[in-house]
Amino acid sequence: MQLARQRLTSLKGVGDKQAEKLARLGLHVVQDLLFHLPLRYQDKTRLHAIAQLLPGQEAQIEGEIVSQHLTQSRNSSLLVSVCDPEGQRLTLRFFHFGFRQAQQFKRGARIRAFGEVRSGPKGLEMVHPVYQLFSEDKRPPLDTTLTPVYPSTEGLGQASLLKLIRQAMALLQQYPLPEGLPQAFLSTWQIPPINQALTTLHQPQPDDDLAALKRFAHPAQKRLILEELLTHQLSMQWLRQQEQTRRAPAIGPSRLVNTLVASLPFALTGAQNRVWEAISQDLQRPHPMQRLVQGDVGSGKTIIAAMAAIQAAEAGLQVAVMAPTEILAEQHRNHFAEWLEPLGIELAWLNGRLKAGEKRDQLARIENGDARIVVGTHALFQQEVTFARLGLVIIDEQHRFGVHQRLALHDKGHQKAGEEDTHPHQLIMTATPIPRTLAMSAYGDLDLSVIDELPPGRQPIDTAVLNQSKREEVMAHLVAQCQQGVQAYWVCPLIEESDQLDAQAAEVTAEQFRQQWPDLRLGLIHGRLKGDDKARIMADFQAHALDLLVATTVIEVGVNVPNASLMIIENAERLGLAQLHQLRGRVGRGAKKSHCVLLYKPPLSETGKARLNIMRETNDGFKIAEEDLKLRGPGEILGTRQTGGLQFRIADLERDQAWLNQAREAAVQLLAQAPDQAEVLHQRWLGEKMGYQHA
């Protein structure tokens, strides 16, 4: 019998209704239940003294009922006061209770209760504890082991889940699961076989190391964590292998790239050269490039993208360059036009706001192949866009896009050219530095290049953190600077989750400047402006026809005005570190010394203070990302990528970072040496998910 196939409705007590609830937890077959792992454990093996309890703690107490009464409010609650043998008191509070239940709590009766301690109006309380009443001579024994607590859903209590898992475990004894890891792994890592590990996790025995289990440091837990991480790595290696069996046009080395490089007013940095070398090599292979280029803000990724585009265009292929915002797409269009048009390479341009006629014209040039380079926003992957011969897809600031959007563009390039099935090369760029271990997990299917050097002459940005109360002074200081030729940004970040309010905050600030300093050349930019207006304002700022740009976070990514050297960010405490770093990265792009002021609204929490201090202490995006990871956890940092299959059942990328490398190496080994076991793991953990990733 295969537990992987046996429906849950074959278990006792599971009808259609119950099955529906279980399905909400992703539980469909018996094996799913076995891998529905405890989130944590309750410890009812001992009693706590009331005197030692702290709010927030989960505890078990025992004592004598000294009183009970109903509160007088409209929805009265039942309060039961318990006194432990040391004479300390605690209140049990019930909001819902029946008459009979209330009657049970007789004065002098003995009670044992388990629950979370919190501070109530008159000292410590437990709300709706699990409890047992007993008489002096029939004191129930304490539990001898931990009670697992499972992820649950509405209408499905722990008790029902426990019952079902008990049935599943009984089936497991009869029909053990196949082992997915070679014996050698088990001995090296000192972890138990799968069936034993599952038994320990679901039904820990008194002689198991319960303390380790509570800390998620038990070998049985390590077994499952490693297995899950390893399987995740496996799936990415599969993806990679699969990609490598696909064909892509081999794009020979380019002459025009050298022409461009020779014409630049600067020399490429060592890091840029190294990364370019890797990309150029990738393009020459007959399989799709899958490369992620990470480089801190200002490290010079755009020119690298342009070089790749030239290599493809020179070979007669088309290139799609996608940016997450219109402002950035517009700026790329300008840069690319400046670099590529002198080389005789034609550009097309797509955004959501083109007029019908203009759009038809651009689409036609893309379809007949005249336009080699197509720059745009996500408008690029709409149905109506047909490429003649797409050979390379470049995605800038990829963390701002969803996985689906990336896949959609990838699919566009998948075309039948006669018998041959070819896919475009992919170059993905991001300025969000991700700590290396995390990057390997999130982007294990991609090759990784890092531009780890800034162009010479850049000076670190000085950052000050100031109370909002200094706002007027900061404004005056900014104006004085502008009068001496400095260009500045004033950023009013998202106040609410609303474009409109956000734009208003920027409008109000712009108005304040205009009233007090009518001579200041000021531009206002936000998401609600028309595309043409945005483009005009950005161009004016670029040309130094404006001194100050008051903006929302629409300028967060990519914007490049090297002369700007002062950045003010309001409500800095509300933004993530990565976002602050991105915003701040709009300055410090030229040779001028740059400054950044972070204004915050007090009171700041301890973490809030710590976060802003990191911004003051370092300009290094990788360090900032490491700290961000510590403060916020990996989910937020990876953002949309998470929906691409990074939801772990037991592993926690932060807690388990130390094992990522081992899991990765083991996955390579397993795939080479024991593909059958690899298949077992794949079936166990991924099932349908692989299909999604292949989409």
Residues near ligand ADP (CB under 6 A): 266, 268-269, 272, 295, 297-303, 431, 455, 558, 560, 562, 589
**Cβ-proximal residue to Mg ion, closest one:** 558
Contact predicate 587/567, CB 8 Å: yes
Nearer residue to Mg ion within complex by CB, 332 or 425: 332
Query: Quick one: what does residue 172 bind among ligand ADP, Mg ion, none, with the CB cut-off 5 to 8 Å set by partner type?
Result: none
Closest among 148, 134, 156 to 205, alpha carbons compared: 148
DSSP string, 184-226: HHHHHHT---HHHHHHHHHS--TTS-HHHHHTT-SHHHHHHHH
How far apart, in whole angstroms, are the C-alpha atoms of residue 395 and residue 378?
A: 10
38 or 558, CB closer to Mg ion? 558
Query: Amino acid identity, residue 113?
Result: A
The separation between CA 682 and the C-alpha centre of its own chain, rounded to angstroms, equals: 23
Query: What minimum distance in Å lies between the beta carbon of 431 and ligand ADP?
Result: 5
Minimum CB–partner distance for residue 268 and Mg ion (Å): 15
611-648 residues labelled b (16+ CB within 10 A) or e (exposed): bbebbeeebebbebbbbbbeebebeebbbebeebbbeb
- Note the residue count of the chain: 695
Tell me the closest approach of the beta carbon of residue 308 to ligand ADP, in angstroms: 13
Q: Which does 324 bind (CB under 5 to 8 A by kind): ligand ADP, Mg ion, none?
A: none
Q: Are strands 123-127 and 89-94 parallel, antiparallel or unpaired?
A: parallel
Q: How far is CA 67 from the centre of its chain?
A: 51
Q: How far is the CB of 490 from ligand ADP (least distance, A)?
A: 21
Give me 94's structure tokens.
Answer: 């019930």
By a kind-dependent CB cut-off of 5 to 8 A, residue 455 interacts, out of ligand ADP, Mg ion, none, with ligand ADP
8 Å CB contact between 336 and 306:
yes
Instruction: Decide whether 115 or 621 has the Cβ nearer to ligand ADP.
Output: 621
510 or 564: whose CB is closer to Mg ion?
564
320: Cα within 13 Å, side-chain hemisphere = 33
| Nearer to ligand ADP among residue 61 and residue 307 (C-beta) | 307
The residue number with the shortest CB distance to ligand ADP is 300
- What is the nearest approach in angstroms of ligand ADP to the Cβ of residue 26? 40
The pair phi, psi for residue 289, each rounded to 5°, is -65, 145
Give whichever of 304 and 666 is closer to ligand ADP, judged by the CB atom.
304
- Provide the pairing of β-strand 487-491 with 548-551: parallel
Q: How far is CA 41 from CA 147, 160, 209, 216, 654, in A?
A: 5, 16, 13, 10, 20
Report the residue number, 271 or 385, with the smaller CB distance to Mg ion: 271
- Residue 303: name its binding partner from ligand ADP, Mg ion, none (Cβ under 5 to 8 Å by kind): ligand ADP
* Residue span binding Mg ion (CB under 5 A) among the ranges 118-126, 245-253, 293-301, 571-579: 293-301
Q: Which is nearer to ligand ADP, 42 or 560 (CB)?
A: 560
- The nearer residue to Mg ion, 491 or 557, going by C-beta atoms, is 557
Q: Which of 270, 254, 263, 376 is nearest to 316 (CA)?
A: 254
Instruction: Give residues with Cβ within 8 angstroms of 366, minimum separation 6.
Output: 318, 348, 350, 374, 385, 386, 387, 388
Taking the complex as a whole, the smallest distance from the CB of residue 30 to ligand ADP amounts, in Å, to: 51
Binding at 391: pick from Mg ion, ligand ADP, none (beta carbon under 5-8 Å per type): none
CA angle at 420 for the pair 419 and 422, rounded to the nearest 5° = 150
- Residue 493 binding result from Mg ion, ligand ADP, none, given CB thresholds of 5 to 8 Å by partner type: none
Which lies closer to Mg ion via its Cβ, residue 93 or residue 301? 301
**Amino acid letter, 106:** K
Give the separation between CA 176 and CA 423, rounded to whole angstroms: 43
**Positions 3 through 62 that interact with Mg ion (CB under 5 A):** none
The CA distances from residue 76 to 64, 97, 493, in Å, are 23, 10, 45
- Choose the stretch contacting Mg ion; rule: CB under 5 A; options: 95-103, 412-420, 555-563, 649-657: 555-563
Least distance (Å) from ligand ADP to the CB of residue 305?
8
Least separation in angstroms between CB 458 and ligand ADP: 8
Min separation Cβ 266 and ligand ADP, Å: 3
The listed partner (Mg ion, ligand ADP, none) that binds 589, CB under 5 to 8 Å by sort, is: ligand ADP
Q: What is the DSSP string of 75-86?
A: S--EEEEEE-TT
In one-letter notation, the amino acid at residue 193 is P
Within 365-384, the residues that bind Mg ion by CB under 5 A are: none
- In this complex, which beta carbon is closest to ligand ADP, that of residue 25 or of residue 261? 261
Report the half-sphere exposure of 56 (CA within 13 A, side-chain side): 0
Shortest Å distance, C-beta 296 to ligand ADP? 7
Interacting span for Mg ion (CB under 5 A) from 267-275, 365-373, 552-560, 613-621: 552-560
Q: How far is the CB of 582 from ligand ADP (least distance, A)?
A: 9
State the minimum distance, in angstroms, from the CB of residue 556 to ligand ADP: 12
115 binds, among Mg ion, ligand ADP, none (CB under 5 to 8 A by kind): none
Please identify which residue in the block is written with the tokens 């030729």. 485
- Only one of the segments 271-279, 550-558, 620-628, 680-688 lies at the binding site for Mg ion (rule: CB under 5 A); that segment is 550-558
Say if residues 618 and 596 touch (Cβ distance below 8 Å): no
Q: Quick one: 622 or 648, whose CB is closer to Mg ion?
A: 622
The site partner of 300 among Mg ion, ligand ADP, none (C-beta below 5 to 8 Å per kind) is ligand ADP
**Residue 558 lies near Mg ion (rule: CB under 5 A):** yes
Q: What angle do CA 44, 46, 50 make, to 5 degrees?
A: 105
Span between the terminal Cα atoms of the chain, in Å: 31
The residues binding Mg ion (CB under 5 A) are 301, 558
